[in-house]
Structure 1
Amino acid sequence: MAIKIAIAEDNSFLLKAVMEKISFYPDLEVKFHAFNGEELLKKLEEDSNIQLVLMDIEMPKMDGIAAVSQVTQRYPQIKTIMLTVFDNDEHIFKAIQAGASGYFLKEVSPPELYQGILDTLDGGAAMTPSIALKTLKLLRNPPQFEEPKEDISLTKREIEILEQTAKGLSYNQIGENLFISPKTVRKHIENIYSKLQVHNKMEAVQKAVKNRIIEG
């Protein structure tokens, strides 16, 4: 019985290269491919009779690491091998944390890829040797990767209001403290929500703390 595979890859040239490697082995069947993680999840909703996904990392809409996390949660029976040009520590660490079962660089040979697929489905963790070495080092000494901060520009007054909001103060209390009317406070809050792209006080405070606009 053929091993059913899905491929998530946004580059048509690289997708063709992966398909050619798989074509050497009649017991491997590519059921479908997707150009991003979002499309992959939609196709899995329609047909989850897949045993393994070969996943790129850098893709639009939803990248491979986010997609691996979703696939692992929704379809724990499906294995995932990252197939990427990226061998930096952060990508490797985050992919494994998200639930990836293996990690190959795209120059992997057809026999190595084939054996890696078999090993992964047999419960192993197939990796390019250089990736395996990096993984061991990362597991021994887990790094702390900072999330990139968003470019959010709030005025001094908006930051003052956000700081007081974080303390749980009402519009009236904030207005009294800053010598402005509650109506003006409300207008500033609306501007803050718009700039932070949030819908309530809790989301605004959490995002401001995450981006180090205010202290947590």
Structure 2
Amino acid sequence: MNTRIAIIDDNNFLIKSVKDKLSFYTDISIGFTANNGAHCLDKLEVDARVKLILMDIEMPRLNGIEATALIKQKFPQIKIIMLTVFDDDENIFKAIQSGADGYLLKETPPQELYNAILQTLEGGAAMTPSIALKTLNLLRSPLSIKTNDDEETVKLSGREIEVLEQLAVGLPYTSIADNLIISPSTVRRHIENIYKKLQVHSKVEAIEIAKRKRII
């Protein structure tokens, strides 16, 4: 199966460099490239069939972190890996807040980049080791989190989680159906199953419980 991705960078030489790195892998194709976040959003409005975006941070008009937040609002099914030269705490923190699914440095070798793309598409969070360490340090907190050992574990399917993620950003059934390439009736069926599993009767309740249980 061929996976379409996009490369967003204001430096065309670096776009070519990433293309060259991935040219060895026949199961990945480049859907489009863009030189800034605004251009990327324009292209997604025309064709949002890409599965993953490699996103630079520093770009004119709309930087990578701002673009990531906007893309995740409208196309939450698209995975985004920040591919940048910046490894400072502030950029890492902002990227995570914006919804980035991974964070790699541009010096990442071809095989590691390819593996990171596959890992992210399978639901993982790919990070350069130095970035992962910084992220752990950022997330460490003296605050304890209360857990309820008696709380029942809820298992949603991958598709149900995708539908719930899109509901959580306010998308209507028709948009969810278009994004996931399924029918509106299938979306409704997934939502009915979600309600049953979470034992709720409304979208608001479903989203609240899913966030509390860290399902989304």
Q: Distance in 1 between matches of 2:93 and 2:14?
A: 23
Q: What corresponds to 1:82 in structure 2?
A: 82
* Alpha-carbon distance in structure 2 between the residues aligned to 1:38 and 1:141: 35
- CA shift at 1:140, angstroms? 1.0
CA distance in 2, matches of 1:33, 1:43: 9
CA distance in 2, matches of 1:80, 1:141: 26
Equivalent residues in 2 for 1:7-86, closer than 5 Å? 7-86=7-86
Give % identity.
62
Question: Equivalents in 1 of 2:62, 2:37: separation in Å?
Answer: 5
CA deviation digits over 1:47-79, x for unaligned, max 9? 000100000000000000000001110001000
Give the match for residue 171 of structure 2: none
Q: Structure 1, residues 10-39: CA drift from partner, whole Å, max 9, x if none? A: 001111111101111010000100000000
User: Which AA in structure 2 matches 1:27?
Assistant: D
Which residue of 2 is the match for residue 121 of structure 1?
121
- Structure 2: 5+ residue stretches without partners: 143-216
CA deviations on 1:82-127 (whole Å, 9 max, x unpaired) are 0000000000000011000000000000000000000001000000
Which SS does the other structure have where 1:115 is aligned?
Answer: helix
Distance 1:76 1:63 in 2: 18
Please report how far the alpha carbon of residue 141 of structure 1 lies from its aligned counterpart in structure 2 after TM superposition: 4.6
- Runs of 5+ in structure 1 lacking a partner? 143-216
TM (norm. structure 2) is: 0.65
Partner amino acid, structure 2, of 1:61: R
C-alpha spacing 1:137/1:26, structure 2 compared with 1 (3 Å): same
| Paired residue secondary structure (2:139) | helix
Number of aligned residue pairs? 142
Instruction: For 2:3, give the aligned amino acid.
Output: I
Find the aligned partners of 1:24 and 1:131 in 2 and give their Cα distance: 26
Tell me, in whole angstroms, the C-alpha distance in 2 between the residues paired with 1:62 and 1:53: 15
SS at match of 2:114: helix
Matches within 5 A, 1:97-176: 97-141=97-141
Which of structures 1 and 2 has the bigger CA Rg?
1
How many Å separate the matches in 1 of 2:102 and 2:6?
15
RMSD across aligned C-alpha pairs, in angstroms? Answer: 1.1
- Higher mean C-alpha displacement, 61-70 vs 11-20: 11-20
2:76, 2:125 → 1: CA distance? 15
Runs of 4+ aligned residues of structure 1 deviating over 4 Å after TM superposition are: none
Q: For residue 166 of structure 1, what is the aligned residue in structure 2?
A: none
Q: After superposition, what is the alpha-carbon deviation per residue over 1:129-160, rounded to whole angstroms, capped at 9, x for unaligned?
A: 00000000011159xxxxxxxxxxxxxxxxxx
Question: Structure 1: which amino acid aligns with 2:112?
Answer: E
